[in-house]
């Protein structure tokens, strides 16, 4: 008798928002899109941290304007501090920031640039279907930041080396990792950063690597 296959691990998503109507709307949309997932909720920074410690979710969808504890006033600073803490403690956590205060994220630009998990931002005023797109991107490990956070094209030397090895030497990620003496996961991390800097994101029917190559050529990063 062959051994039974292990049951697939159920995906866990934490939604953090102090507005019940927004929280309910977000949770309902996520349940429709990910019926097998376990959806967790938190309305304060304190409860969000407890949920993270206890349940270790795969993805956090969070507002920035939240209270520290029940009964306290919602503040953007509280959400910013929570986000900073989550990125420090859980470097591979996938994150979607759903907020009306996305400009304030410029304060976390260095932390976002080094975060290893997916990280996307969506303005709360946009339709919920936009949030679902950003959720899917974050789960794929994509990094997406608004244009105002991408002042000028910032390209690090290791990103240029990756572009050269991929598009001028034709190497795949495994060979690139060996050549650069880094982990393959780090190579994938570099790709997400390069693509965000170039404004290249997943599109149905389009190969994201080819789109990256075209944009890199347009910017003069490769021949």
Q: From CA 90, how far away is CA 220, in angstroms rounded?
A: 35
The model's confidence at residue 181, banded by pLDDT at 50, 70 and 90, is very high
Class of domain 12-149: alpha beta
Q: Which residue has the higher pLDDT, 6 or 96?
A: 96
E strands, 65-155, are 94-99, 119-123, 143-144
Q: Retrieve residue 131's tokens.
A: 């949030």
DSSP conformation class of 61: E
3-state secondary structure at position 211: helix
Cβ count within 10 A of residue 24? 13
CA 79 to chain centre: 16
Task: Provide the pLDDT for residue 59.
Answer: 97
User: Tens of pLDDT along 133-180?
Assistant: 999 999 999 999 877 676 666 678 899 899 999 998 999 999 999 999
- Per-residue pLDDT tens digits for 46-84: 999 999 999 999 999 999 999 999 999 998 889 999 999
Sort 181 into a burial class: Cβ within 10 Å, 0-12 / 13-18 / 19+: exposed
Q: Residue 105: what pLDDT?
A: 84
What is the pLDDT confidence band of residue 108, given thresholds at 50, 70 and 90?
confident
**Which segments of the chain belong to CATH 3.40.50.2300?**
12-149
Which two structure tokens, joined as six digits, stand for 205? 């029917």
Determine the Cα–Cα distance for residues 199 and 223; give it in Å rounded to an integer. Answer: 19
Rounded CA separation 38/57 (Å): 9
Backbone region of residue 157 per phi and psi (left: phi > 0; alpha: psi in -120 to 50; beta: other values): alpha
Q: How confident is the model at residue 1 (pLDDT cuts 50, 70, 90)?
A: very low
Nearest to 151 by CA among 180, 190, 109: 109
Six token digits for residue 68: 């520290």
pLDDT of residue 7: 53
The verdict on domain 157-218 having CATH code 1.10.8 is no
- Domain limits, CATH 1.10.10, in the chain: 157-218
Q: Which of 6-15, 24-33, 55-64 has the lowest mean pLDDT?
A: 6-15
Q: pTM for this one?
A: 0.76
């Amino acid at each position: 008798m062959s051994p039974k296959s292990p049951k697939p691990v159920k995906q866990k998503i934490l939604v953090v928002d102090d507005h019940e109507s927004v929280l309910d709307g977000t949770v309902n949309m996520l349940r429709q899109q990910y019926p097998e997932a376990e959806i967790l909720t938190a309305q304060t920074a304190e409860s969000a941290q407890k949920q993270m410690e206890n349940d270790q979710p795969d993805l956090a969808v969070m507002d920035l304007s939240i209270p520290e504890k029940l009964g306290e006033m919602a503040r953007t600073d509280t959400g910013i501090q929570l986000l900073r803490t989550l990125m420090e403690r859980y470097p591979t956590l996938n994150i979607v920031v759903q907020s009306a205060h996305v400009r304030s994220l410029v304060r976390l630009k260095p932390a976002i640039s080094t975060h290893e998990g997916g990280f996307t931002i969506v303005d709360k005023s946009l339709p919920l279907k936009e949030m679902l797109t950003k959720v899917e991107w974050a789960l794929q490990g994509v990094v997406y930041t608004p244009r105002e956070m991408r002042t000028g094209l910032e390209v690090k030397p290791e990103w240029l080396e990756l572009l050269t090895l991929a598009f001028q030497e034709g190497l795949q990620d495994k060979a690139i990792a060996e050549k650069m003496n880094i982990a393959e996961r780090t190579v994938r991390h570099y790709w997400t950063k390069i693509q965000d800097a170039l404004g290249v994101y997943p599109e149905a029917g389009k190969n994201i690597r080819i789109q990256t190559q075209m944009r890199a050529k347009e910017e003069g990063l490769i021949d």
